[in-house]
């Protein structure tokens, strides 16, 4: 199975109020629409963002990596794995809420990881088609997991479980949210 999704995980229980969590990321006006499964939340056909909370972590999924919510200039001059306005919010929040971004895109063979801790991006990796484009910083999470001889999707899903301490995501209920584009509200 090829994964095509993006995970943003943040320490804390912000996922109990999905619309407020999205607003804290600079995306106000979110409308909660329905409860969905992990399978639906990680589907490439997801229409919006899906948010869950478990084990003291907030988990957000988005198959298009927030790219549909931001203008082109926020993306082209953007951050490591995210549009610049979103990455700036994560950096500001990371003193209180460490955050991690995991990119799995089997269609384009692109994989990435970024750690936002203590006000900085402490670790970033971006690989596409066996070429490493970004590899900066260090964190014990990726030092133990990221290896050239391993399947990147398998590594990132193991990393997601290790960071959050969640053993199975299958039973985790997600709330689907529709979010207006950045700056439209």
pLDDT in tens, 32-61: 999 999 999 998 888 889 999 998 999 999
Q: Can you say whether residue 96 is alpha, beta or left, with left for phi > 0 and alpha for psi between -120 and 50 degrees?
A: alpha
Phi, psi of 55 (to 5 degrees): 55, 30
Secondary structure tally for the chain: helices H, strands E: 6, 9
Phi, psi of 134 (to 5 degrees): -135, 135
pTM: 0.85
pLDDT in tens, 134-177: 888 876 655 555 666 677 788 888 888 888 888 888 888 999 99
Phi, psi of 133 (to 5 degrees): -100, -30
Residue 73: pLDDT band with limits 50, 70, 90: low
């Amino acid at each position: 199975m090829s994964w095509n999704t993006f995970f943003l995980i943040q320490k804390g229980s912000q996922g109990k109020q999905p619309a407020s969590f999205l607003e804290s990321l600079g995306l106000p006006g979110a409308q909660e629409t329905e409860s969905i499964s992990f399978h639906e939340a990680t589907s490439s056909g997801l229409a919006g963002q899906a948010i869950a909370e478990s084990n003291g972590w907030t988990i957000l999924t988005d198959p298009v990596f927030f790219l549909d919510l931001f203008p082109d200039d926020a993306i082209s001059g953007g951050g490591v794995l995210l549009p610049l306005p979103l990455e700036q919010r994560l950096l500001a929040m990371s003193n209180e809420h460490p955050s991690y971004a995991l990119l799995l895109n089997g269609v384009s063979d692109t994989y990435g990881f970024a750690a936002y801790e203590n006000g900085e991006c402490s670790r970033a990796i971006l690989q596409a088609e066996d070429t490493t484009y970004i590899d900066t910083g260090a964190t014990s999470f990726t030092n133990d997991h990221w290896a050239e001889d391993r399947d990147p999707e398998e590594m990132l899903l193991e990393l997601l479980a290790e960071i959050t301490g969640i053993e199975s995501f299958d039973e985790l209920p997600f709330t689907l949210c529709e979010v207006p584009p950045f700056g439209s509200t």
